[in-house]
Structures are given as structure tokens and as C-alpha cells.
Structure 1
């Protein structure tokens, strides 16, 4: 494994805010490199469970979803496609740089558990949240019953 994939103690002290979990930040950085891991997050009293993915993968999915569901003028479709292309270009530029302190976490096939059942129960969704709002986590995704 490359040294740039691991935050050193010095990196942790320099770049990781005190209210962030350095291990969770590491998992997010690995997802950016294509290492996907199932996780369950505790966020605001609810559990959010899915597979960590990169911001790029998340944005590509959003772009595809908007394109597939957009029923309007070509001008609107073109503007949205251009906006997503710009976001993806910006993401590609930052993906080449080390980012010891990402701000967001992205999940695919995510389910939100607010009690005994998952919402939605039929299928998982793409999910994005602020890392600073994660109260705790464990490795492994939950499945709905």
C-alpha cells in the first residue's frame, strides 16, 4: 500500500479537526481511490447504512439520474449537463491532490433506518452527508428485513 494512502500522526494533528474521526476520514479517502467499504453511520439519531463511494461516482450517478428523469426543454437539459460536467471536472482536479480533511461522505445503495425498518425498503439510494455530523460508525452495511 502506498504511503500517501495513510494519514500519519503528523497529518492527523495538522489536518484533522478535533471533532472528526481520523479513521472515518481515511475510509473516505480510500473510497476516492476506489476502495469501497460497507459502513453504517449514526447521524442525528438515525442509522444510515450503505457502501462508501467517491464523490466522483456520486456526481456521475446524480448526472445520470437527472438526465434519465428530465422531461423538459433541451436548454434545461444542456444546462444541467454542463453544470454536472463542471462539478466532475473540479472533482477530478481535487482527486489528484491529497485531501486529509474531506468535508462530505458519499454512500451508494444507502438505507436510512429510523426504527426497525429501512426507508426506503425497496432499494437503496445515493446519499451524501457532512462528515462533521457523523456521531459514530461501524464497518459493514445493514440490510433491511
Structure 2
């Protein structure tokens, strides 16, 4: 997260509304994003759910050394995020904006008949790189 005056993550009111719903209210929303011509589809989640999901997923890595290392690293990132959010609650939370967007069960849409072989992955991208969004209510 960065200060608002240092970051113009998005001017898109719809995208900002979705980010607020996931970040503040814990909602999950299925989206398709266009990023510089690449299409990614998945379920929008907040940073807390993203970190929790990855920390949990590290338990399934077959290489135990890699599993332990990634579990520790992502747990540290999660704890740093939690600490930052607690500090923001003590200050003015509206002073900060998200600069990254998080998807679970993400897939790259290659063409109409084929998805990427990496279906169901965790995905993180810069909000200011998003050119378009699609969603179905």
C-alpha cells in the first residue's frame, strides 16, 4: 500500500468499488482482466485472503524444504500486511490505497477453446496496468 498522493492506482470507479468490497468487506468477485492485451480470469480477493491462501497452499508443495521456506516467507509477508493494516486503523485508513490486485483460481485465457495450462493459480498484478475488466453479476 502507498500514500494516495504518491499513487494513482485507478481512476476506474467500478474497479475501485470491487477492490473496496474485497479489501474492506471480504467479498470475492469473479472478474476477467485485460492487462496490456493479456486476458486473465479469476476470483478477486483481498490481500488478506491472498496471503492466507498462499500460506495454506505452501503446505501442499511436495518438496518439503521449498514448502517450509515459502511458508515462512509468505507468513512473514502476511504478518507485515496485518501489522500495516492495524497501524492504518489507528491512523486515517483513507490515506492509503491498494496498488496491487489479487486473484485466486486465476487462468490466462489464450483463445476461445483453450485456457492456459496453469489453471487455478494465485495471481497478483499492478492495478495501474489494468486496461479493462469484465464481470458477470
Structure 1 length-normalised TM? 0.69
Q: Judging changes above 3 Å, is the alpha-carbon distance between structure 1 residues 18 and 57 closer, same or farther for their aligned structure 2 residues?
A: closer
Shift of 1:135: 0.4
Deviation at 1:29, TM superposition (A): 2.4
Select the structure that is richer in strand.
2
Q: Per-residue deviation at 1:18?
A: 7.7
Q: Which residue of structure 2 lines up, in the alignment, with residue 118 of structure 1?
A: 115
1:25 and 2:21 equivalent?
no
Map 1:102-117 onto structure 2 (within 5 A).
Answer: 102-116=98-112, 117=114
The one of 21, 39, 42 equivalent to 2:31 is 39
Find the residue that maps to 1:128 and give its secondary structure. Answer: strand
Q: Give the equivalent residue in structure 1 for 2:133.
A: 137
Structure 1 distance, partners of 2:56, 2:9, is 36
Counterpart of 2:77 (choices 70, 87, 111) is 87
Please report how far the alpha carbon of residue 87 of structure 1 lies from its aligned counterpart in structure 2 after TM superposition.
1.1
SS of the aligned residue for 1:114 comes to strand
Gaps of 5+ in 2: none
Render the CA deviation track for 1:95-115: whole Å, top value 9, x for unaligned: 443355211101112221122
Structure label with greater radius of gyration: 1
Q: CA RMSD in A?
A: 2.8
Q: Distance in 2 between matches of 1:120 and 1:79?
A: 25
Quick one: distance in 2 between partners of 1:124 and 1:18?
A: 26
Q: 5+ unaligned residues in a row in structure 1: which ranges?
A: 1-11
The whole-number CA distance in structure 2 between the counterparts of 1:16 and 1:26 is 17
